[in-house]
């Protein structure tokens, strides 16, 4: 059993999964979370098989299945007419091929089930209302200052999200950059959603300079809607209540007729400024590692941000459990993760460009997708969904 002491700052998806993955390998950890209670932050999350398999490996299959909807498919449609472009099949065959189903969850439900598992785990100490404000390290230890008290560990994991302040403790870490796009998120009670909307699958509507992603969460009782538009919104915060009239004006033209069925419903929208952290910056310094969005926040067009955080947690736990000096284990974590995360990060950016094409380019895109067909389109993502930890990295 490896007897190292690990401190984790931030109990989001990355931090909680890291604590559970460490415990799975016999390593105890202490989590510090700024929020005094973990509430309904965020909206839907698509949890693809590469991440689902890791969560299942941590004994969370039943809890996940209770919280999640398993979509039959992803439908890509025209945002003007609603006409189908292509359907990517995600049913049982895909679950068998990738070793886990594709799942749709509410972020709060995923965080709650991770939290419950962490709370009932004697190797995990959870501190809420515990804001980490400073980090320091010596040759022998790394220290985290929380509410004015210093806590010393062998290894410190900074999983404090895209707005990470602990990132400053890693020289050469990439800064967070806002990218000229906003994501508008809301949920619609199932009874208020347009009746002809397929409720058991993910629907993606493609428009010039915009797209919309719609899928069920909470056992199908709510429909999660994300509208991404290109706009230079520079609010004081990175998320805020969104004025629905801005969306309505954007989608009132004939070219966006189908989308307007969602923006016309009276709903509470939250507006997020999409923000990236370039994964080519440093993630590790001595005994300190950045993981998840703190290290490499990406645009959500492949639905892989939380998935990459979950993969990080698995690999970090494995490299630490392998023994040896902590600093070397963190270096090998970074070396193992960077190529894959960088490829996913870039591919997510490209997906955004493709989704937002207009005019003849959009027509060409739709014809190509239709011609390729859903199965072959899905196979293009085999490297994401079918990923296995590299030999020697799994615990
Ligand atoms: C519109 C949109 C849609 C998305 N859809 C998907 C999707 O379908 N699938 C997917 O995989 N990903 C998706 N993502 C990305 C996903 O939400 C993030 O990648 C993921 O939540 C990152 O997890 P994290 O744990 O790194 O950070 P976070 O979830 O942000 O957690 C950070 C935690 O740290 C805490 N914290 C912050 N500072 C401190 C401090 N100083 N001390 C202590 N605690 C602190 C915070 O309170 C928080 O609990 C989407 C993102 C957006 C914007």
Look at residue 55 and tell me if it is in a domain. yes
CA distance 331 to 153: 17
Look at residue 6 and tell me if it is in a domain. yes
Residue that is written with structure tokens 């949890």 in the block: 47
Which residue lies with its CA nearest to atom 9 of ligand 1? Answer: 303
Identify whether the C-beta of residue 29 lies closer than 8 Å to the C-beta of residue 52.
Answer: no
Residue that is written with structure tokens 């945002």 in the block: 79
**pLDDT tens across 271-327, in order?**
888 999 999 999 999 999 999 999 999 999 999 999 999 999 999 999 999 999 999
| 18 CA to centre of ligand 1 in angstroms | 14
Which residue lies with its CA nearest to atom 27 of ligand 1? Answer: 161
Look at residue 266 and tell me if it is in a domain. no
Look at residue 21 and tell me if it is in a domain. yes
| 212 CA to centre of ligand 1 in angstroms | 20
Cα torsion 298, 303, 306, 308: sign: negative
- Give residue ranges with CB within 6 A of ligand 1: 9-15, 32-35, 42, 45-46, 131-132, 159-161, 165, 183, 185, 226, 272, 292-294, 300, 303-307, 309
For a mutational test of ligand 1's pocket, the pick from 39, 114, 146, 305, i.e. the residue with the most ligand atoms closer than 8 A to its C-beta, is 305
Specify the pLDDT at position 42. Answer: 64
Per-residue pLDDT tens listing for the chain (395 residues): 458 999 999 999 999 999 999 999 999 999 999 998 876 666 899 999 999 999 999 999 999 999 999 999 999 998 888 899 999 999 898 999 999 999 999 999 999 999 999 999 999 999 999 999 999 999 999 999 999 999 999 999 999 999 999 999 999 999 999 888 999 998 888 888 887 777 789 999 999 999 999 999 988 889 999 999 999 887 666 667 888 888 888 887 766 777 777 777 777 888 888 999 999 999 999 999 999 999 999 999 999 999 999 999 999 999 999 999 999 999 999 999 999 999 999 999 999 999 999 999 999 999 999 999 999 999 999 999 999 887 444 43
- What is the 8-class DSSP label of residue 325? -
List all residues 6 or more positions away from 150 whose beta carbon is below 8 Å from its beta carbon.
Answer: 143, 144
| 292 CA to centre of ligand 1 in angstroms | 8
CA distance 327 to 156: 11
Write down the mean pLDDT value for the chain: 92
Identify whether the C-beta of residue 355 lies closer than 8 Å to the C-beta of residue 204.
Answer: yes
Q: Could you tell me the residue range of the domain that residue 152 belongs to?
A: 2-176+277-385
Tokens of 102: 């594709």
Pairing, β 284-285 against β 269-277:
unpaired
Specify the pLDDT at position 237. Answer: 65
Counting from 1 in the atom list of ligand 1, the atom nearest the Cα of 308 is: 11
Tokens of 333: 């974590």
Which residue lies with its CA nearest to atom 3 of ligand 1? Answer: 300
Helix axes 305-321, 326-355, angle to 10 degrees: 160
Look at residue 220 and tell me if it is in a domain. no
Residue that is written with structure tokens 């998320």 in the block: 239
Specify the pLDDT at position 64. Answer: 96
pTM, two decimals, is 0.95
Between the alpha carbon of residue 187 and those of residues 29, 83, 103, 263, the distances in Å are 35, 23, 17, 12
Helices (H), the chain: 13-24, 49-57, 61-67, 92-98, 107-119, 244-250, 260-263, 293-296, 305-321, 326-355, 359-372, 374-379, 382-385
Tokens of 245: 């009239």
Backbone angles phi, psi at 355, to 5 degrees: -60, -35
**pLDDT tens across 42-51, in order?**
689 999 999 9
The conformational region for residue 209 under phi > 0 = left, psi -120 to 50 = alpha, else beta, is: left
Instruction: Give the angle subtended at the CA of 106 by the CAs of 77 and 56, to the nearest 5°.
Output: 100
| 143 CA to centre of ligand 1 in angstroms | 23
Specify the pLDDT at position 392. Answer: 45
Domain count, the chain: 1
- What is the 8-class DSSP label of residue 377? H
Which residue lies with its CA nearest to atom 50 of ligand 1? Answer: 300
CA distance 388 to 390: 6
Look at residue 257 and tell me if it is in a domain. no
Give the catalytic positions in this structure.
215
Tell me how many helices (H) and strands (E) the chain has. Answer: 13, 19
Specify the pLDDT at position 265. Answer: 78
Look at residue 108 and tell me if it is in a domain. yes
Counting from 1 in the atom list of ligand 1, the atom nearest the Cα of 12 is: 31
Specify the pLDDT at position 393. Answer: 44
Look at residue 100 and tell me if it is in a domain. yes
Between the alpha carbon of residue 24 and those of residues 12, 19, 21, 110, 111, the distances in Å are 18, 9, 5, 18, 18
Which residue lies with its CA nearest to atom 4 of ligand 1? Answer: 300
Query: CATH no. for residue 283?
Result: 3.50.50.60
| 306 CA to centre of ligand 1 in angstroms | 7
CA distance 69 to 92: 13
């Amino acid at each position: 059993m490896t007897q190292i002491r690990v401190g984790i700052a931030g109990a989001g998806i990355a931090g909680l999964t890291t604590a559970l993955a460490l415990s799975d390998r016999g390593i105890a950890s202490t989590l510090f979370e700024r929020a005094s209670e973990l509430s309904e932050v965020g909206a839907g999350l698509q949890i693809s098989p590469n991440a689902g398999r890791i969560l299942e490996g941590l004994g969370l299959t039943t809890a996940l299945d209770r919280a999640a909807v398993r979509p039959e498919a992803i439908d890509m449609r025209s945002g003007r007419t609603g006409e189908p472009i292509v359907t990517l099949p995600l049913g049982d065959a895909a679950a068998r091929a990738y070793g886990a189903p594709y799942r749709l969850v509410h972020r709060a439900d995923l965080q709650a089930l991770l939290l419950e598992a962490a709370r009932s785990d004697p190797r995990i100490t959870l501190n809420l209302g515990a804001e980490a404000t400073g980090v320091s390290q010596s040759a022998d230890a790394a220290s985290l200052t929380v509410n004015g008290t210093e806590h010393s560990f062998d290894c410190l994991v900074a999983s404090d999200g895209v707005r990470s302040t602990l990132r400053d403790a890693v020289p050469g870490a990439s800064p967070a950059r806002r990218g000229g796009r906003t994501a508008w998120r809301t949920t619609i009670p199932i009874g208020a959603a347009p009746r002809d909307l397929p409720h058991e699958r993910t629907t993606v509507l493609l428009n010039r300079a915009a797209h919309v992603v719609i899928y069920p969460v909470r056992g199908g009782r709510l429909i999660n809607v994300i509208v991404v538009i290109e706009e230079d919104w520079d609010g004081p915060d990175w998320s805020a209540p969104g004025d629905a009239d801005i969306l309505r004006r954007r989608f009132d033209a004939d070219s966006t007729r189908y989308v307007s069925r969602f923006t016309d419903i009276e709903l509470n929208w939250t507006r997020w400024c999409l923000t990236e952290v370039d994964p080519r910056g440093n993630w590790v310094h001595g005994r300190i590692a950045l993981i998840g969005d703190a290290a490499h926040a990406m645009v959500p067009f492949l639905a892989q941000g939380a998935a990459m955080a979950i993969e990080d947690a698995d690999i970090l736990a494995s490299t630490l459990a392998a023994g040896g000096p902590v600093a070397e284990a963190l270096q090998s974590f970074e070396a193992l993760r960077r190529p894959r995360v960088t490829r996913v990060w870039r591919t997510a950016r490209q997906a955004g460009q493709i989704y937002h094409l207009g005019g003849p380019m959009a027509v060409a895109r739709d014809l190509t997708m239709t011609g390729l067909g859903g199965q072959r389109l899905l196979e293009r993502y085999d490297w994401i969904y079918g990923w296995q930890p590299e030999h020697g990295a799994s615990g």
